[in-house]
Amino acid sequence: MNRKNLFGLTLDELIAELEPLPKFRAKQIAQNIYKHGKISFDEMTDLPKNLRAELSERYEIKIAELLTRLDSRDGLTTKFLLGFDGAAVEIVLMRHDYGNSVCISSQVGCQMGCKFCASTLKGLERNLTAAEMLAEIFFVEMFLRGDGQKLDSVVIMGTGEPLMNFDALIKMLRLLHEDYCLGMSYRKITISTCGVVPAIKKLRDEKIPVTLSISLHAPDENLRSELMPINSAFGLKTLLAAGDDYAQATGRRVTYEYILLGGVNDTEEHARRLAKILSGQLANVNLIPFNPVSERNFLPPTKSAVQKFFHFLNTHGIGATIRKEMGADVNAACGQLRAKFDGR
Ligand code: SAH
């Protein structure tokens, strides 16, 4: 008989599943799994032996299957391809000087159709469940614990549009934040969206003060609609208003991501328009030099275009940073490892 996987259940779900076991036992099991990373009931030495044997017969604790792993030459970036029921999902561990961070995927594939992105080339296969998203994070936490380290922050910026998988996303974030789980502060979590405006409002109403990153990529309606189909549904103006509203409600500065595409959106005129539309907002800009994708016909910006754009924003009242390129030798841009794996 197939054993049921307990990984990803909340404490309330564990209590219901394990009934008539007393609640404190469910709590011990939750802590064993999430806090102590025990994936075999035999290791749960605070449970009576006969209970451990009974649990092992009915249940398992399965996190994720490792399909392949790639390390950057500088040792700072490790990319893992994980398998969930036949789906391949990419995550990236980045060792920054301010701590360890993981970039996770929210969907298998993506339906948003952004013109420069590899993740959306084959459309959406399916949503990831809350348990699978938690497993992506947990996999890295366990990997780091093996090295005597820990995970400090999470960015949901891999394959997929997290706000199109809203309920599973919120369930996962709340579980991640629980004391019996990793107890991760919401402030250490960043969600990146292409601009699903109604879901940004829903996220605000959840009252979990995660950092919001909005993929802007263009300073006017026409260019943005050309690059990102979502802009035809929710235009730039509505998106900026939703971003401002999120910042006001949470007191958290919104980050606007801006991919620099050589010759497309990287001139001084674009920088001027960007500074204008963001002036007065509680916002930062993160400039991302385009990471070339073989299937896409865009060029990276020149070094000098990046510097000029960056300088223009910073001297016109907009705090901007340039995304540090990490792990270019392991294809750290989203979707690229998975695309290669699928194309075997
Ligand atoms: N759907 C979400 C999160 C996934 S994409 C979003 O759109 O924000 C994460 C970020 O990577 C986005 O800003 C996206 O536009 C950017 N991105 C996609 N392809 C890229 C590429 N080839 N080079 C650089 N950045 C890329």
User: What are the structural domains, with CATH classification, of the chain?
Assistant: 4-60 (1.10.150.530), 65-342 (3.20.20.70)
How many angstroms separate the alpha carbon of residue 118 from the centre of ligand 1? Answer: 9
The residue to which tokens 């194309």 are assigned = 343
Q: Of the candidates 312, 268, 260, which has an alpha carbon nearest to the alpha carbon of residue 289? A: 260
| More confident of the two residues 324 and 339 | 324
What percentage of residues in the chain have a pLDDT greater than 70? 94
Distances 205 to 42, 100, 201, 246 between C-alpha atoms, Å: 42, 29, 6, 9
Task: Quote the mean pLDDT of the chain.
Answer: 94
Q: Quick one: DSSP state of residue 321?
A: E
264 by Cβ neighbours in 10 Å (0-12 / 13-18 / 19+) ranks as buried
List, in order, residues 6 or more apart from 225 with CB less than 8 Å away. Answer: 231, 232, 235
pLDDT tens-place string over residues 204-262: 999 999 999 999 999 999 999 999 999 999 999 999 999 999 999 999 999 999 999 99
> Which amino acid is located at 339 in the chain?
A
Residues with CB under 6 A from ligand 1: 112, 114, 116-117, 157, 161, 192-194, 215, 257, 259, 288, 290-291, 293, 333-334
Closest CA to 94 of 105, 104, 109, 106: 104
Task: Look up 114 and say whether it is catalytic.
Answer: no
Q: Which pLDDT value is given to residue 344?
A: 36
